Structure 1
């Protein structure tokens, strides 16, 4: 039997995907993130309990692991199979409402099945508070919510000091402000206008993203997103205690076409010395 992991489009879930602030999705069925990823995880367990794995810090991602058994109603189906999905709705520092799916639908033998999925939110460096709740909906209009008895789920964000900021502006200038020190932190603030290529859309929504790549002293390459659509999302990098320099470069990719472009200072990469 061949399993085809194809999402069937539903307007509610498409809206949720685009409305999120700086996110990756990591489909995982019923499994949490592998141990040792370093990303904190908020677990919402089937028995109604909630637990935090790791430390939630500003400028770093946090992963949402929600067990669909917490919202067992609204399990609509149609000729294609399951027609329901669960999303997390959240506000950062009391700001705009954001939505992101915590389930996905996969198709096997022509039938849709809704499965558990992980949603990862990239927090801005100045984030202080995160509140969230969960909504289950199906195509019939049935809806149920998990709101912590109306109080919503509230999380304070740890605030390590940010010592330096690298800013990459639309006019192709780059500046480093603040002391970049070993054992400190660096915020990457990248303007998406620097990479205008590959800007296709899908059903009216951006179908591209920009990734920052970085490495210390020629070591392993690491990466993080720097945008959600045209909106820039600064992120924080922790500087190792023995680092001498950091290199950065950026890539835009299109989801649906083989199109990509780089911003790498003509292949030299953007390099900053660390004191």
Structure 2
């Protein structure tokens, strides 16, 4: 990639970099995920309607699927191809405004094309309200917004019980507060200093992800991402009604650098009994 093209990539990502810390990396997909993936999806459809697939709950991720046809005006091009993008701007419980792209840029035949993407927002365990709007921009200075006529899009977040919290400290100690109960929930607080490897960026965004892996009673392994961009936040794991114990371990990975590292108590995993 030439220096001018690298600079162009950084400039095109700039609108979505505003307060980008805390945003999960969006998968490179041109269409929403198939039904039944388990993660709820907020669909913003081409006809202006909004629909919810699944139940949005605190402590869990939610996908944002935005049809670019809702913001059709900013479609600038240049010598490299498409020079426009759309980002979701959102606020949790009236806090800091954050942003992340809901379109992707792909290059084929020497030309850039902007395609429909998917953003993922990881909600903290105490999240109660989610507010968002969408912004389209191009390099020519065009700016267009979808704000639900100025009201912005607002969603109330369900609050299942959280009975225990496991904290994985930077000094390699672990503490469990509260009681792990069948049918309850466990909040994981993970300090990213435990996995300092693989920290590179791609097009201005953190290219690494930390995943929490877990399983109940030796059963199937499940996982959830615990970082949004450069920020690691608490996540919630729901406990089955018949579970006796939970094992947890963590891994950092970087697809672009082909790098990975594990935190698994030297292969023993971190295990907690469930009452």
| Alignment TM-score > 0.5, same fold | yes
Q: Give me the CA root mean square deviation.
A: 1.9
| Preserved CA contact (<8 Å) 2:25 2:229 | no
Judged with a 3 Å threshold, the aligned counterparts in structure 2 of structure 1 residues 223 and 14 are, in CA distance, closer, same or farther, namely: farther
Question: How many residues are matched?
Answer: 267
Which residue is 1:37 aligned to? Answer: 37
Which residue is 1:5 aligned to? Answer: none
* Aligned-partner Cα distance in 1 for 2:61–2:205: 23
- Bigger drift between 16-25 and 227-236 goes to 16-25
* Aligned-partner Cα distance in 1 for 2:194–2:20: 23
Map 1:239-250 to 2 at 5 A: 239-250=239-250
Which residue is 2:93 aligned to? Answer: 93
1:144-197 deviation per Cα after TM superposition (whole angstroms, max 9, x unaligned): 000111111011111111011111111211111111111111111101111223
Which residue is 1:177 aligned to? Answer: 177
Map 1:28-107 to 2 at 5 A: 28-29=29-30, 31-107=31-107
Which residue is 1:27 aligned to? Answer: 28
- Bigger drift between 228-237 and 61-70 goes to 228-237
Judged with a 3 Å threshold, the aligned counterparts in structure 2 of structure 1 residues 11 and 219 are, in CA distance, closer, same or farther, namely: farther
1:53-73 deviation per Cα after TM superposition (whole angstroms, max 9, x unaligned): 111110000111111000010
Judged with a 3 Å threshold, the aligned counterparts in structure 2 of structure 1 residues 41 and 207 are, in CA distance, closer, same or farther, namely: closer
* Aligned-partner Cα distance in 1 for 2:177–2:272: 11
For structure 2, the 5+ residue unaligned runs are 1-7
1:61-117 deviation per Cα after TM superposition (whole angstroms, max 9, x unaligned): 011111100001010011111111000001111111100100011122222111111
Judged with a 3 Å threshold, the aligned counterparts in structure 2 of structure 1 residues 229 and 47 are, in CA distance, closer, same or farther, namely: closer
Which residue is 1:218 aligned to? Answer: 218
Which residue is 2:126 aligned to? Answer: 126
Shift of 1:202: 5.2
Judged with a 3 Å threshold, the aligned counterparts in structure 2 of structure 1 residues 108 and 15 are, in CA distance, closer, same or farther, namely: same
1:1-46 deviation per Cα after TM superposition (whole angstroms, max 9, x unaligned): xxxxxxx8242425626815241412332x3221111111111111
Map 1:112-191 to 2 at 5 A: 112-191=112-191
Judged with a 3 Å threshold, the aligned counterparts in structure 2 of structure 1 residues 117 and 202 are, in CA distance, closer, same or farther, namely: closer
1:187 aligned counterpart, secondary structure = strand
| Preserved CA contact (<8 Å) 1:22 1:226 | no
Which residue is 2:252 aligned to? Answer: 252
| Preserved CA contact (<8 Å) 1:76 1:140 | yes
TM-score by length of 2: 0.91
1:35 aligned counterpart, secondary structure = coil
1:190-232 deviation per Cα after TM superposition (whole angstroms, max 9, x unaligned): 0111122333455775443221111111222111122235532
Which residue is 2:5 aligned to? Answer: none
Shift of 1:237: 0.6
